[in-house]
Amino acid sequence: MTLLAFDGVTKHYGEELVLDAVSFELDRSEVEVIIGPSGSGKSTLLRCVNRLAEVDNGTIRFDGEPIGDTDADELRRQVGMVFQDFNLFAHRTALGNVTLGLRRVRGFSKEEARERARRELEQVGLGAQLDSYPAELSGGQKQRVGIARALAMDPELLLFDEPTSALDPELIGEVLAVMRELADDGMTMLCVTHELGFARSVADRLTFLEAGAIVERGDPERLFTDPRSDRTAEYLSRLTGEY
């Protein structure tokens, strides 16, 4: 069952080509990890999925429908996003960050929203931080709030834009653990990350993106052990430190 399909997607920022005829399909309950050097178009690719960026050419289908045909707000309700810089609502508590979408997008009552938000935050291990403001949380806690906020919308697909890149190394584990749990529960996930351990053990697909184009895509284990492209081999060995 294909949930997300890119077909010849091209995107420019001004003169610069950031996505170059990208095509791939992602099935329901699959986890895909995208890696690639900075500036290779990974973030832009994610942003095209929930229409934070619009494509120039080609089609993106979500659940069979071209995303250009659906209302952007409705699409975004079904496609959650987790940000590198967390982007937690700075004026709201952890609980308030999760209730906002429940109240204003999904139309929950105040009580329903609080109850649901409490459950989501407990799920990511933040039952004791409900009333903390973002500035009072550690990076790992912030990112888990970010995940709970996205999950509360009951998304079909979750986009992760370098969710651990802004974290202290010792805090990365708690975020990856939550992501691993989500994958085990059957959430469809499209993740831009440099966490190769996560890619290798959790992802169903690994894509190497460079200069806006897919260089190689396939089973993570195969890309690590038997890459077809020299560029993939070079990049992966550099990331893993095996020069």
Which residues in this chain contact another protein in the complex, by CB under 8 A? 50, 52, 73-74, 76-77, 80-81, 83, 85-91, 100-101, 104-105, 133-139, 149-150, 153
Only one residue has tokens 């139309």, namely 107
Neighbouring C-beta atoms of residue 133, cutoff 10 Å: 16
Between 89 and 224, CB nearer to another protein? 89
Between 73 and 242, CB nearer to another protein? 73
**Least distance CB 43 / another protein (angstroms):** 11
**Least distance CB 46 / another protein (angstroms):** 10
**Least distance CB 155 / another protein (angstroms):** 9
Please check whether residue 43 is in contact with residue 82, taking contact to mean a CB–CB distance below 8 angstroms. Answer: no
Between 148 and 203, CB nearer to another protein? 148
Which amino acid appears at position 140 of this protein?
G
**Least distance CB 76 / another protein (angstroms):** 4
Between 41 and 80, CB nearer to another protein? 80
